[in-house]
Amino acid sequence: MDIISQELGYKEYVMREDYSFHAPYNPEVEFYEAVRDGNKETVDKALAVDFCDKKGLGELSLNSLQSFKYHFVITAAMLSRYCIDGGMEHEQAYHLSDLYINKADICTSKKELSALHKKMVKDYLKRMINLKTDKVYSKHVVLCINYVYDHLHEKITITDAAVETGISEGHLSRLFKKETGMTFNEYVMRKKTETARNMIDYSGYSLSQIANILAFGSQSYFVKVFKKYEGITPGKYYSTHLPSATI
Protein backbone atom coordinates (compact mmCIF):
# COMPACT_ATOMS: atom_id res chain seq x y z
CA MET A 1 0.00 0.00 0.00
CA ASP A 2 1.45 3.41 -0.95
CA ILE A 3 1.65 6.40 1.41
CA ILE A 4 -1.33 8.20 -0.14
CA SER A 5 -3.52 5.12 0.25
CA GLN A 6 -2.42 4.78 3.87
CA GLU A 7 -3.22 8.43 4.55
CA LEU A 8 -6.65 8.08 2.99
CA GLY A 9 -7.19 4.97 5.04
CA TYR A 10 -6.59 6.59 8.40
CA LYS A 11 -8.48 9.74 7.42
CA GLU A 12 -11.50 7.60 6.57
CA TYR A 13 -11.01 5.79 9.88
CA VAL A 14 -11.05 9.07 11.79
CA MET A 15 -14.24 10.15 10.06
CA ARG A 16 -16.13 6.95 10.84
CA GLU A 17 -19.11 7.69 13.03
CA ASP A 18 -18.77 4.66 15.27
CA TYR A 19 -15.14 5.39 16.31
CA SER A 20 -14.34 1.72 17.04
CA PHE A 21 -11.20 2.03 19.10
CA HIS A 22 -11.25 -1.63 20.23
CA ALA A 23 -10.31 -0.36 23.68
CA PRO A 24 -13.23 -0.22 26.17
CA TYR A 25 -15.63 2.51 25.06
CA ASN A 26 -16.65 4.10 28.36
CA PRO A 27 -13.09 4.79 29.64
CA GLU A 28 -12.28 6.43 26.29
CA VAL A 29 -15.33 8.68 26.52
CA GLU A 30 -14.52 9.53 30.13
CA PHE A 31 -10.98 10.48 29.11
CA TYR A 32 -12.11 12.91 26.40
CA GLU A 33 -14.83 14.34 28.62
CA ALA A 34 -12.23 14.88 31.39
CA VAL A 35 -10.02 16.88 29.03
CA ARG A 36 -13.03 18.84 27.80
CA ASP A 37 -14.14 19.61 31.36
CA GLY A 38 -10.63 20.51 32.58
CA ASN A 39 -10.61 17.58 35.02
CA LYS A 40 -6.86 17.35 35.71
CA GLU A 41 -7.06 14.53 38.26
CA THR A 42 -8.86 12.16 35.90
CA VAL A 43 -6.60 13.04 32.98
CA ASP A 44 -3.44 12.55 35.04
CA LYS A 45 -4.65 9.07 36.01
CA ALA A 46 -5.25 8.22 32.37
CA LEU A 47 -1.78 9.45 31.43
CA ALA A 48 -0.14 7.21 34.02
CA VAL A 49 0.07 4.56 31.30
CA ASP A 50 2.18 5.60 28.33
CA PHE A 51 0.27 5.87 25.05
CA CYS A 52 2.24 3.12 23.31
CA ASP A 53 1.88 0.80 26.32
CA LYS A 54 -1.89 1.07 26.25
CA LYS A 55 -3.73 -2.23 25.84
CA GLY A 56 -6.63 -2.87 23.51
CA LEU A 57 -5.76 -0.57 20.62
CA GLY A 58 -6.54 -2.13 17.26
CA GLU A 59 -3.81 -2.93 14.76
CA LEU A 60 -4.12 -0.35 11.99
CA SER A 61 -0.83 -1.15 10.28
CA LEU A 62 1.61 -4.07 10.05
CA ASN A 63 4.21 -1.60 11.25
CA SER A 64 3.72 -1.24 15.02
CA LEU A 65 4.95 2.38 15.22
CA GLN A 66 2.82 3.38 12.23
CA SER A 67 -0.22 1.79 13.86
CA PHE A 68 0.29 3.91 16.98
CA LYS A 69 0.71 7.00 14.77
CA TYR A 70 -2.71 6.32 13.26
CA HIS A 71 -4.19 6.03 16.74
CA PHE A 72 -2.45 9.29 17.64
CA VAL A 73 -4.25 10.95 14.71
CA ILE A 74 -7.57 9.62 15.99
CA THR A 75 -6.81 10.90 19.49
CA ALA A 76 -5.92 14.35 18.15
CA ALA A 77 -9.13 14.49 16.12
CA MET A 78 -11.26 13.43 19.09
CA LEU A 79 -9.57 15.90 21.45
CA SER A 80 -10.23 18.77 19.07
CA ARG A 81 -13.90 17.83 18.67
CA TYR A 82 -14.55 17.37 22.39
CA CYS A 83 -12.75 20.61 23.24
CA ILE A 84 -14.72 22.52 20.61
CA ASP A 85 -17.87 21.15 22.24
CA GLY A 86 -16.47 22.45 25.52
CA GLY A 87 -16.04 25.97 24.16
CA MET A 88 -12.59 26.03 22.59
CA GLU A 89 -12.45 28.16 19.45
CA HIS A 90 -12.55 26.10 16.26
CA GLU A 91 -9.38 27.55 14.79
CA GLN A 92 -7.37 26.95 17.94
CA ALA A 93 -8.56 23.35 18.31
CA TYR A 94 -7.86 22.46 14.68
CA HIS A 95 -4.52 24.23 14.70
CA LEU A 96 -3.40 22.23 17.74
CA SER A 97 -4.57 19.01 16.12
CA ASP A 98 -2.65 19.73 12.91
CA LEU A 99 0.43 20.80 14.82
CA TYR A 100 0.67 17.62 16.89
CA ILE A 101 -0.21 15.31 13.99
CA ASN A 102 2.63 16.84 11.98
CA LYS A 103 5.01 16.32 14.91
CA ALA A 104 3.81 12.72 15.35
CA ASP A 105 4.47 12.02 11.71
CA ILE A 106 8.22 12.52 12.19
CA CYS A 107 8.53 10.57 15.46
CA THR A 108 10.98 7.69 15.10
CA SER A 109 10.22 5.69 18.24
CA LYS A 110 7.31 4.68 20.46
CA LYS A 111 8.95 6.45 23.39
CA GLU A 112 9.06 9.70 21.44
CA LEU A 113 5.45 9.27 20.29
CA SER A 114 4.23 8.52 23.83
CA ALA A 115 5.96 11.65 25.16
CA LEU A 116 4.35 13.73 22.40
CA HIS A 117 0.93 12.23 23.17
CA LYS A 118 1.26 13.24 26.82
CA LYS A 119 2.35 16.74 25.81
CA MET A 120 -0.61 17.09 23.43
CA VAL A 121 -3.16 15.98 26.01
CA LYS A 122 -1.74 18.30 28.67
CA ASP A 123 -1.76 21.17 26.17
CA TYR A 124 -5.47 20.69 25.43
CA LEU A 125 -6.19 20.20 29.13
CA LYS A 126 -4.37 23.39 30.17
CA ARG A 127 -6.22 25.41 27.55
CA MET A 128 -9.57 24.03 28.67
CA ILE A 129 -8.78 24.79 32.32
CA ASN A 130 -7.89 28.35 31.35
CA LEU A 131 -11.04 28.58 29.27
CA LYS A 132 -13.18 27.62 32.24
CA THR A 133 -11.75 30.49 34.27
CA ASP A 134 -12.17 33.04 31.47
CA LYS A 135 -15.29 35.07 30.90
CA VAL A 136 -18.17 33.17 29.30
CA TYR A 137 -19.57 34.93 26.24
CA SER A 138 -23.24 35.30 25.49
CA LYS A 139 -24.92 33.12 22.89
CA HIS A 140 -24.92 35.88 20.24
CA VAL A 141 -21.21 36.63 20.69
CA VAL A 142 -20.35 32.92 20.52
CA LEU A 143 -22.32 32.62 17.29
CA CYS A 144 -20.51 35.67 15.97
CA ILE A 145 -17.07 34.28 16.89
CA ASN A 146 -17.88 30.94 15.24
CA TYR A 147 -19.06 32.82 12.15
CA VAL A 148 -15.71 34.60 11.96
CA TYR A 149 -13.78 31.32 12.16
CA ASP A 150 -15.96 29.70 9.53
CA HIS A 151 -15.36 32.60 7.10
CA LEU A 152 -11.72 33.56 7.67
CA HIS A 153 -11.03 32.95 3.98
CA GLU A 154 -13.64 35.49 2.95
CA LYS A 155 -14.28 39.19 3.40
CA ILE A 156 -16.12 39.35 6.74
CA THR A 157 -18.55 42.13 7.59
CA ILE A 158 -20.52 42.77 10.75
CA THR A 159 -23.62 43.06 8.57
CA ASP A 160 -23.31 39.41 7.55
CA ALA A 161 -22.43 38.38 11.10
CA ALA A 162 -25.53 40.14 12.42
CA VAL A 163 -27.71 38.18 10.00
CA GLU A 164 -26.07 34.99 11.23
CA THR A 165 -26.68 35.82 14.90
CA GLY A 166 -30.22 37.10 14.42
CA ILE A 167 -29.78 40.51 16.05
CA SER A 168 -29.28 44.00 14.66
CA GLU A 169 -25.88 45.18 13.50
CA GLY A 170 -25.80 47.94 16.12
CA HIS A 171 -26.76 45.62 18.96
CA LEU A 172 -24.16 43.04 17.92
CA SER A 173 -21.47 45.72 17.62
CA ARG A 174 -22.13 47.00 21.14
CA LEU A 175 -22.44 43.53 22.65
CA PHE A 176 -19.26 42.28 20.97
CA LYS A 177 -17.23 45.26 22.16
CA LYS A 178 -18.58 44.96 25.71
CA GLU A 179 -17.81 41.23 26.05
CA THR A 180 -14.53 40.89 24.13
CA GLY A 181 -13.03 44.32 24.68
CA MET A 182 -12.49 44.64 20.93
CA THR A 183 -14.48 45.98 18.04
CA PHE A 184 -15.76 43.39 15.61
CA ASN A 185 -13.37 44.51 12.87
CA GLU A 186 -10.38 44.44 15.22
CA TYR A 187 -11.27 40.89 16.27
CA VAL A 188 -11.53 39.78 12.64
CA MET A 189 -8.15 41.28 11.76
CA ARG A 190 -6.51 39.74 14.82
CA LYS A 191 -7.81 36.29 13.92
CA LYS A 192 -6.85 36.65 10.28
CA THR A 193 -3.35 37.68 11.40
CA GLU A 194 -3.08 34.70 13.76
CA THR A 195 -4.14 32.40 10.95
CA ALA A 196 -1.63 34.01 8.60
CA ARG A 197 1.12 33.47 11.16
CA ASN A 198 0.17 29.81 11.49
CA MET A 199 0.12 29.42 7.71
CA ILE A 200 3.62 30.89 7.50
CA ASP A 201 4.75 28.43 10.17
CA TYR A 202 3.17 25.30 8.77
CA SER A 203 1.52 25.61 5.34
CA GLY A 204 4.39 26.31 2.95
CA TYR A 205 2.34 28.94 1.10
CA SER A 206 4.00 32.13 -0.10
CA LEU A 207 3.02 35.47 1.44
CA SER A 208 1.04 36.51 -1.61
CA GLN A 209 -0.87 33.22 -1.51
CA ILE A 210 -1.64 33.68 2.18
CA ALA A 211 -2.87 37.23 1.60
CA ASN A 212 -5.18 35.98 -1.16
CA ILE A 213 -6.42 32.95 0.78
CA LEU A 214 -7.36 35.12 3.76
CA ALA A 215 -9.02 37.75 1.55
CA PHE A 216 -6.88 40.68 2.68
CA GLY A 217 -7.66 42.51 -0.54
CA SER A 218 -4.10 43.56 -1.29
CA GLN A 219 -0.56 42.64 -0.32
CA SER A 220 0.06 46.09 1.14
CA TYR A 221 -3.01 45.83 3.40
CA PHE A 222 -1.87 42.39 4.55
CA VAL A 223 1.55 43.82 5.45
CA LYS A 224 -0.05 46.74 7.33
CA VAL A 225 -2.42 44.55 9.38
CA PHE A 226 0.20 41.87 10.13
CA LYS A 227 2.71 44.44 11.36
CA LYS A 228 0.08 46.11 13.53
CA TYR A 229 -0.70 42.93 15.47
CA GLU A 230 2.60 41.03 15.28
CA GLY A 231 5.03 43.94 15.54
CA ILE A 232 6.98 42.93 12.42
CA THR A 233 6.19 42.64 8.74
CA PRO A 234 5.08 39.26 7.39
CA GLY A 235 8.20 39.25 5.20
CA LYS A 236 10.49 39.50 8.20
CA TYR A 237 8.49 36.93 10.13
CA TYR A 238 8.60 34.61 7.10
CA SER A 239 12.35 34.91 6.66
CA THR A 240 12.94 34.40 10.38
CA HIS A 241 10.88 31.23 10.57
CA LEU A 242 11.69 29.86 7.12
CA PRO A 243 15.21 31.12 6.36
CA SER A 244 15.65 28.87 3.37
CA ALA A 245 12.28 29.67 1.77
CA THR A 246 11.73 32.01 -1.13
CA ILE A 247 9.24 34.79 -0.60
Domain that holds residue 198: 139-241
How many CA atoms does the CB half-sphere of 204 hold within 13 Å? Answer: 0
Confidence of residue 219 (pLDDT cuts 50, 70, 90): very high
**Tens digit of each residue's pLDDT (9 = 90 or more) over 73-85:** 999 999 999 998 8
C-alpha–C-alpha distance, residues 120 and 123, integer Å: 5
147 and 120 belong to one structural domain: no
Angle at 232 between CA 192 and CA 213, to 5 degrees: 30
Residue 246, in any domain of the structure: no
- CA 149 from centroid of its chain's CA atoms: 11
Q: CB under 8 Å to 126, separation ≥6 — which residues? A: none
Label residue 132 left, alpha or beta by phi (over 0 means left) and psi (-120 to 50 means alpha): alpha
Query: Would you say residue 203 has pLDDT above 80?
Result: no
Shared-domain flag, residues 19 and 77? yes
116-125 tens-digit pLDDT: 999 999 999 9
36 and 73 assigned to the same domain: yes
CA distance 152 to 136: 23
Query: What percent of the chain is modeled with pLDDT above 90?
Result: 55
